[in-house]
Amino acid sequence: MTTKILFVCLGNICRSPTAEGVFRGLAAQAGKDVLVDSAGTSGWHNGDLPDRRSMAEAAVRGYDLSNQRSRKLVAADFDSFDLIIGMDHANMENLRTLAPKGARAQLKLFLDYAPDQAIREVPDPYYEDNFDGVFDLIEQASRGLLGCL
């Protein structure tokens, strides 16, 4: 059965599109039956491509983010997906606030799938410019998540 997974961050141009592209690539290599999407809690970048710095680092590592466009999280996502995964504690707080009562999706913090990491949040690279480190974390957590499917 297909597992439906939605990655969520603030802008849906840096971290969650990266998680979508990386996880989709690794899941395909592993032969896992998944449907993957991403969304932002803000809607500030609706319709935009991922950040060019995310796309550049993705290309170096063999992932393609160019088919993705930013979109805002909607209430229906909580019923369409099995698993909704936030990048940081603020994302999780927003998800818990927006989740309709009795919604189907389980809510998870991404780095809970990378228990060897000392940090619990994927840092926002938009201002920090730490795309390399963010990709390392996302690849690690994606492998952890794949191991749970």
As annotated, the active-site residues are: 9, 15, 124
Q: How many residues does the chain have?
A: 149
Question: With DSSP H G I counted as helix, E B as strand and the rest as coil, what are the percentages for the chain, rounded to 5?
Answer: 45, 15, 40
Q: What 3-state DSSP class applies to 42?
A: coil
Residue among 5, 6, 14, 58 that touches ligand 4NP (CB under 6 A): 14
Binding of ligand 4NP by 15 (CB under 6 A): yes
How many positions of this chain bind ligand 4NP (CB under 6 A)?
A: 10
Compare residues 103 and 134 and give the one whose CB is closer to ligand 4NP. 134
DSSP summary character for residue 112: G
Smallest CA-to-CA distance from 135 within 8, 17, 7 is with: 17
Binding of ligand 4NP by 10 (CB under 6 A): yes
> Closest residue to ligand 4NP, Cβ-based?
11
Residue among 28, 29, 44, 96 that touches ligand 4NP (CB under 6 A): 44
Q: What angle do CA 74, 79, 85 make, to 5 degrees?
A: 70
Q: List contacts with ligand 4NP (CB under 6 A).
A: 9-15, 44, 124, 126
